[in-house]
Amino acid sequence: MFGKNSVSPVAPPNHSQINEDVRIRGTITVSEPLVMAGQLDGEINADTLHIASTAIITGEVAAKSVTIDGRVLGSIVADKVFLSATAHFEGQLHCKGVAIGKGAYVDAKFTQEPAING
Amino acid sequence: MDKHGNKTVIGAGATFTGKITNARVIEVHGKVNADLTAEKVTIGEAGHFDGAIRADLVVVSGHYEGKMQAGSVWATATASISGKLHYETLQMDRGAALNCHIVYNWAAKNAVAAQTDKDDMDLPLPKPSDKAKNGVESTSPKEGA
């Protein structure tokens, strides 16, 4: 029973990842890169955040740098935001710099903070 | 890291609070305070998990506190578990620290689990008759060092 489970404890990875089939309600706080591909209802606080195309996020996102390929409904507070062509974003965006790819759906209230020291 | 592996990872610098469902394979190296349903759970050496787990396989190398219902449990040498453990198969490495209520799920595991659940909700200690019937009670917190 145990023999076939070759799950020897591995060295802790330096990033976090939430898979696409995962559903989460709550708060994630990460001081390292986070790849979010699942469904989240709640809050994310991260450094570098990648919201994959399969992700559906409802709630608040705060990060230094956010790349969005999936759906976000809610608010984003970040330094840098990149909404790719597959992104779907509704809500409020507060950031220093934003890039929106061609084809992205954005329905947002946008406030920009002047970039002072990056 | 296998970014495309079908695996969810809560990294060492991550803190999570809430509820996780539908996770197939999840690795916890950070701090998690959550209720979790998954197929396979690994709590890494630096991992801290506080909350209920329902899973087929749980490998604990870190710290766990809560109520676990698992098919197979593997407590490695660095594990420390407190709370409650319902298991069908259990492997414990030398050095693992278990300070918890351990219940083996017999064939009629659902009935037993339901019954002991109810008991334990009300009473911190199960009745001696339950212990004798349902499994082993371990209260040894000593870590083999």
| pLDDT tens readout for residues A32-80 | 899 999 999 999 999 999 999 999 999 999 999 999 999 999 999 999 9
pLDDT-based confidence at B94, cuts 50/70/90?
Answer: very high
Question: Which of B29, B39, B41, B64 is the best substitution to test chain A (most A C-beta atoms within 10 A)?
Answer: B29
CA of A55 vs chain B CAs: smallest distance (Å): 13
Provide, as residue numbers in chain A, all residues whose Cβ is less than 8 Å from the Cβ of B61. Answer: 9
The predicted structure's pLDDT at residue B115: 56
Q: What is the DSSP string of B101-115?
A: EEEE--TTHHHHHHH
| pLDDT value, residue A111 | 92
B144 has pLDDT over 60: no
Task: Look at residue A86 and tell me whether its pLDDT is greater than 60.
Answer: yes
pLDDT band at A6 (very low <50, low <70, confident <90, very high): very low
pLDDT > 70: percent of chain B = 69
Q: What is the pLDDT of residue B106?
A: 65
| List of residues 6+ apart from A91 with CB closer than 8 A | A72, A73, A74, A75, A76, A107, A108, A109
Tell me which chain B residues have a C-beta less than 8 angstroms from the C-beta of A9.
42, 44-45, 59, 61, 76, 78
Q: Is residue A91 part of a domain?
A: yes
| Residue A12 reports pLDDT greater than 90 | no
B11: closest CA of chain A, how far (Å):
4
Rounded to whole angstroms, how far apart are CA atoms B77 and B67? 20
d(CA B81, CA B21): 22
C-beta atoms of B23 and A34 within 8 A: no
Does position B120 have pLDDT exceeding 90, yes or no? no
Q: What is the pTM of this model?
A: 0.74
Whether A26 and B57 lie within 8 Å, measured CB to CB: no
Chain A contacts to B (CB-CB under 8 A): 1-2, 5, 7, 9-10, 12-19, 21-32, 34-35, 38, 42
Sequence-distant (6+) residues with CB within 8 A of A11 are: none
Stated as kind and residue range, the H or E segment containing B75 is strand B63-75
Mean pLDDT lowest among A52-66, B94-108, B117-131: B117-131
How high is the pLDDT of residue A37? 94
Average pLDDT of chain B is: 80
Interface test with B, best of A6, A24, A48, A67 (most B CBs within 10 A): A24
Overall domain count for chain A: 1
Residue A83: give the domain boundaries.
Answer: 27-100
Q: Which two tokens stand for residue B123?
A: 């009473």
Q: What digits encode the pLDDT tens for the residues B19-36?
A: 999 889 999 999 999 999
Please tell me which of the candidates A14, A22, A30 has its beta carbon nearest to residue B22: A22
Q: Is A15 inside a domain boundary? A: no
Residue B116, φ and ψ in degrees, nearest 5: -65, -35
Taking all residues of chain A, what is their mean pLDDT, rounded to a whole number? 87
C-beta atoms of A9 and B29 within 8 A: no
What CA–CA distance (Å, rounded) separates B47 from A78?
A: 28
- Closest-CA distance, A77 to chain B, in angstroms, reads 19
Inside any domain, residue A108: no
**Across A1-118, where does the E strand assignment appear?**
16-18, 23-30, 34-36, 39-51, 56-68, 71-83, 88-100, 105-112
